[in-house]
Amino acid sequence: MKQSGMKPSDIKRITKIFKALSNENRLELFLEILKINEKSFETECAECFITDIMGTLSIGAPTVSHHMKELTNAGLVITERKGKFLTAKINDELIKELAEIFSTEKS
């Protein structure tokens, strides 16, 4: 029961995380990055090229750029520029923290 005594700053940080996941396009971006992250469990190459994902979404490049920044600011993903391209990978530590919030004794 990790969430019992939560500091106001934690509340704020966590709402920011959930807000980042509360938009359809942003959630799809995140899940896509998460999927790549899982797939490349054995191989250590867990990077994901954002350009590739873009095609599957019905929004323009400026909006994707904006959404990526929100996912990054929330701490959910870590981005890196590879030449012309932007890559992203999952911040596994944060995911672990989120998993704990939803882990209950009533399994």
Partner DNA sequence: CTCACAATTCGATATTTGTCAAATTTTATA
Partner DNA sequence: TATAAAATTTGACAAATATCGAATTGTGAG
Q: How far is the CB of 103 from DNA (least distance, A)?
A: 25
DSSP per-residue codes, 49-82: EHHHHHTTSSS-HHHHHHHHHHHHHTTSEEEEEE
Which partner, a copy of itself, DNA, none, binds residue 51 by CB below 5 to 8 Å per kind? DNA
Count of C-beta atoms within a 10 Å radius of residue 18: 11
The footprint of a copy of itself on this chain (CB under 8 A) covers a number of residues equal to 35
Q: For residues 43 and 41, give the distance between their C-alpha atoms in angstroms, rounded to a whole number.
A: 6
Footprint of a copy of itself (CB under 8 A)? 1, 3-4, 6, 11-12, 14-16, 18-19, 21-24, 27-28, 31, 34-35, 37-39, 41, 92, 95-96, 98-99, 102-107
